Structure 1
Amino acid sequence: MMKSVKTVLLGLSLLLGLSLTAHADRIRDLTTVQGVRNNQLIGYGLVVGLDGTGDQTTQTPFTTQTVNNMLSQLGITVPQGTNMQLKNVAAVMVTAQLPAFARQGQTIDVVVSSLGNAKSLRGGTLVMTPMKGVDNQVYALAQGNILVGGAGASAGGSSVQVNQLNGGRITGGATVERELQSNFGSQNTLNLQLNNEDFSMAQRIADAINGRGGYGAATALDARTVQVRVSPDNSSQVRLLADIQNIDVSIPIEDAKVVINSRTGSVVMNREVTLSTCAVAQGNLSVTVNQSQNVSQPNTPFGGGQTVVTPQTQIDLRQSGGALQRVNASANLNNVVRALNALGASPIELMSILQSMQSAGCLRAKLEII
């Protein structure tokens, strides 16, 4: 009787352990559909209506040239040799993203950024700007009032600025004029691309799709792609993909990873990181260089001597720390954090310690430096 009770308790503990660690996500959160993506658009244009904060045209001749071209297209001829001193105009670059399946007449947001030496784009209006793709075809036309998130003021040689004034955004500022040709489902297949390459996850997604009757045959082509065979009918493909994206897939145990940003000193680790017992000694080596100027003057003013300035340099070398500290084995993230905090190391020092731990085999994780 006691043996059976122990068996039941052991089974319950295993089930509870699995329920605490395993979880499921929808396929739509783990993958994207191949070919369904945004496309980058870019354009060059003019912003007018600035309150004296535009380009200094003597230093940005392309702004004057653009104004002349625009006026010429509007039927206005500027006499040759005219030196226009414009302060209310700025040359800008306009960028946007053309979403998949965008249709004619649909509006998209655009970002406007100063190209010259304009002080601010606040209060300006972007005049009609063609937005081109990588194939040099015009896909949208942008125009509208710019919303700048920054603010600034200056007087008497002093200035105050909050956020960026040389860039802004126009919500719905571009109208789609040309549609992109889509090959969605044209070969009776749909490819699902995983956000992160993982052979185990790719196979789980394929098995989950095949486990639902009538959803087509899915095959994991590699660690990044799952291919689903579909019918030629476009409406059936849309319904099928909508159903597939809502299927739940259990998430396998992820790889232990530590990511280090060498520029900012940030250290991020996931929950699978563990440590083995090791000893760590850290020390700081600091070098201080001080330079002062000594002035040497002759004691006799009429003796013909000269005043000489001689530099005096002092170098101070200091080394601190170096005592060994024991780092206990840690089986979960909380213990890892406590063990590393006990070292009292700064983020910069922690990066070197983690690299050394991995080389010594004490850090059971992949180390990625970005």
Structure 2
Amino acid sequence: MAIKACSFVGTFRRFQPHILMGLAQIGYTFLYFITEASFNHGMNPHVYITYRHIVAGVVTLPFAFFLERKIRPKLTIALFLEIFVLSLLGVGLTLNMYFASLRFTSPTFLASMVNTIAALTFLLAVILRLEVIDLRNPRGIAKILGTLVSLAGVLTMTLYKGPILKNPWRAIVHLNGNTAIHQNWLKGSVLTVASCITWSIWYIMQAYTLKRYPAQLSLTTWMSFVGAAQSGLYTVIVQHKKAAWTIGFNIDFWSTIYGGVVISGIVIFIQLWCTEQKGPVFVTMFNPLSTLLVAILAYFALGEKLYIGSVVGGLIVIFGLYLLLWGKENDQQAPTNSDEECIPQQEGPKKQNFPSEAM
């Protein structure tokens, strides 16, 4: 029984990052729809980002303060400037472009384009030598093929539509709003591509920052508060109406709470932990999962059109994802302390200490 328990614990710890990233993508899936409903209701995306990260900072602050008192490094000016840039890439700049593009596109398109982050992150990681590629090893080749296959799937979803799949069900949920917000696809596409590029840089920078500041909860809290200040300053400049800052107890409130607690709090902490354990490429390669979930929910719940190209491209992306994960299987597989405790220690023959050895 003890051996089976140890085997189960070892297996769970081995796939713990995979499970956590899968749950994180489920969290992102619901985010697409709840934010679109909030924006259609009239909430300003920049105000949303500011409030969301204030909520995230307030929620994670007590946990970071008490749980990481002994491991939190001293915050120097250089380290604070690094966190400032990290917050700008992950919150102040990227998210403002990202959610602004949602007003001009759709959740399905946005989720599809986010998949390019994995390929961009992989390319940057190879250039900066954060990712090791051994072309003499089949797993090294699998990393390259997995990335290329995933990118091919993204291009398929983006460029090829194909026939429409008939939906035998009526829409369960209706997101009422101003239909004119989805007319400027060019502007939305430019904002989405720009946010994907800065987002890729953000993932890479996390790997470097975590080496100097290995306290994920504290780093999450700092990024939330600093990012909220950056976003708030930008919002004040572009939005002069006081009414935009007022939200009621409606979808605007709940989208802010969900985004702050679940996404900017729990999910960002999960991503930081997985980045430290497996690297930034591992984290970004799970983005396609939310793409499929968004397309499925939008098809069945919202009655959105689903094209064959989206289905085929999604399957190609998923195949590339698991090909790359197989290639990374042997990366950073140092045994943990808990695994070592499960290994029974065999007692060998007692060795006598002779006078010469005792000295």
More helix by share: 2
Higher relative contact order (CA 8 A, sep 6+): 2
TM-score (norm 1): 0.17
More strand by share: 1
| Rg larger for | 1
TM-score (norm 2): 0.18
